[in-house]
Structure 1
Amino acid sequence: MPDPRIKNEDQYEALRDKGYSKQKAARIANTPDAGKKGGKAKPYEEWTKSDLYHQAKRVGISGRSTMNKKELIKALRNN
């Protein structure tokens, strides 16, 4: 039975098969537009700190409220 908390079950299962943890796979699968490709987003360095904070919130990065812009970028890339 699919987990109702997972928005993109297929993507979640594919990530789990690749060895991602349950928590990380769920965060990615629940991120809006996470499965879309296109490369149209600006590099994080061009985002505002506010935009980075909201993206970190969307993907569930803890401690984001105390991070500066550089730390938010690092956390988003390593998430």
Structure 2
Amino acid sequence: MPGGKSPGPQVKDKDQYEALRDKGYSKEKSARIANSKGAEKRGGKAGKYEERTKADLYKEAQKVGIEGRSKMTKAELAKALRTN
């Protein structure tokens, strides 16, 4: 692997993981995408964040470990989820 460090055995698609890391994605998000089957290609399945409730966004933010989520507005949660 370029960079000298393998992402580990838990990552299914190591090439995709490395490509996402090179684009600036976090380790966690890169691994999540690389481990899902075609998730990056499918897209649009969850719906727009603006169409979801603040409670739904909060639960999603909790799943992915966004810090400070309890003090965020709905718009801030949506932005944090997009950029995580």
| TM-score normalised by the chain length of structure 2 | 0.62
Selected match of 1:26 from 19, 25, 28: 28
* Distance in structure 1 (CA, Å) of the matches to 2:31 and 2:71: 26
Moved over 3 A (4+): 4-11, 31-35
Q: In the alignment, residue 52 of structure 1 is paired with which amino acid?
A: L
In the alignment, structure 1 segments of 5+ residues that lack a partner are none
- Total equivalences in the alignment: 76
| TM-score normalised by the chain length of structure 1 | 0.65
Query: Is this contact kept in 2: 1:57–1:64, CA < 8 A?
Result: yes
Query: Is this contact kept in 1: 2:21–2:30, CA < 8 A?
Result: no
2:83 aligned with 1:78: yes
| Bigger Rg over Cα | 2
In angstroms, what is the RMSD of aligned CA positions? 2.9
Identity of aligned residues (%): 55
2:54 aligned with 1:52: no
Query: Is this contact kept in 2: 1:6–1:26, CA < 8 A?
Result: no
Compared CA separation, residues 67 and 54, structure 1 to 2 (3 A)? same
In the alignment, structure 2 segments of 5+ residues that lack a partner are 1-5
